[in-house]
Amino acid sequence: VAAGGGERDFLADAAILNDLLASNDWGRSLNERLLADLRPTLSLAQLSNLLAGNISIVHGVTGSSRTFMGEESAGVDATRIAFSRIAAGQSEIGLVGGAYNAEREDMLLLYALNDLCMTGSFRPVLGDEAAPGIPSGSMGAFLVLESPEHATARGAKPIAKLSGVWSERAKRDEAGSVAEKVRSLIATAGTSPTTALYSGATGAAGATEAEGEALVGAGVPVRVVTNRIGHGFEAQFTALLGLAALSIAQGAAIPASPALTLEAPHAGALDRVIVTSVGHWRGEGAGLVEKVNG
């Protein structure tokens, strides 16, 4: 399970920020307010642990659970480890995913303070303005990953095949490193005439332009899925994998947006989808979803 930290006290944070504006000694004022206003809330817990426990109780999960924190990379690594365990024969079936609530005022405040939020009217990510800011989107996305043998034994029909998940960490302070890392991930997944690429581009400055640079030369139809569902941070990667699986099951890619020159129409067969993830400030990843043979 991938999720962020618990909810902070937004009113306390806002009051502290307002007081700091009128203070001549920020350090002293901040310490005084923290001593008075810091109270035990879910900010002292890990939301991913609470979510994993709730899922286990509600759905009767009897096996162990692993939890991940760390924005977009948390979703990538949760999927990568679940996939690797099944591929290695260490597990037969697993539930993997994440969740994000885009209406949390504490998170909006944190991202706004770093000038990451999309403001004003909606502008498409990787459109005329490559990085218009992050259009946060509430979502919960979970996938059942299962070995072919286990699925056959219980009579479950697979939707698609997860063929690989890769997680990387570019040196963001080096020019061109992010674009090169994305190109490498796409090359590792491999392309073909029946391949499409679903991007989870965040809209954040720097990372988004670099990802777009790599996608232009990918040689396959690209869909910027963020413009359809928003950006769900920890949940974004599994949401895109789920959409990729459904697209393959239907044999058609998501329709191209006429507002994006990056998105070319794709009328042919679809049996492979590469999913890319470039974190808003760290972490790059990719997954490959393919059609099930037979």
Question: What is the tens place of the pLDDT at every residue in 225-261?
Answer: 999 999 999 999 999 999 999 999 999 999 999 989 9
pLDDT attached to residue 42: 54
pLDDT attached to residue 41: 56
pLDDT attached to residue 44: 53
Q: In the structure, what pLDDT confidence band is assigned to residue 1 with cuts at 50, 70 and 90?
A: very high
Can you tell me the distance from the alpha carbon of 237 to that of 287, in angstroms, rounded to the nearest whole number? Answer: 9
pLDDT attached to residue 174: 95
Can you tell me the distance from the alpha carbon of 107 to that of 114, in angstroms, rounded to the nearest whole number? Answer: 11
Can you tell me the distance from the alpha carbon of 3 to that of 71, in angstroms, rounded to the nearest whole number? Answer: 7
String of b and e for 212-242 (b: at least 16 CB within 10 Å)?
Answer: bbbbeebebbbbbbbbebbbbbbbbbbbbbb
pLDDT attached to residue 294: 66
**Mean local confidence (pLDDT), 209-234:** 97
User: What's the pTM?
Assistant: 0.92
Can you tell me the distance from the alpha carbon of 225 to that of 230, in angstroms, rounded to the nearest whole number? Answer: 8
pLDDT tens track for 125-141: 999 999 999 999 999 99
Distance of alpha carbon 99 from the chain centroid: 10
**In the chain, where the domains are located:** 113-290
pLDDT attached to residue 254: 97
Locate all alpha helices (DSSP H) within the chain, ordered by sequence. Answer: 10-21, 26-37, 47-59, 71-87, 105-113, 148-153, 177-189, 207-216, 226-229, 236-250
Burial class (CB within 10 angstroms; exposed 0-12, middle 13-18, buried 19+) of 145: buried
What are the Cα distances from residue 174, in Å, to 4, 170, 171, 231?
27, 8, 6, 25
Tokens of 200: 């989870």
What CATH number is given for 113-290 in this structure?
Answer: 3.40.47.10
Q: Which residue has the higher pLDDT, 100 or 45?
A: 100
What are the Cα distances from residue 31, in Å, to 8, 11, 75, 186?
17, 17, 34, 47
- Nearest CA to 45 among 9, 5, 13? 5
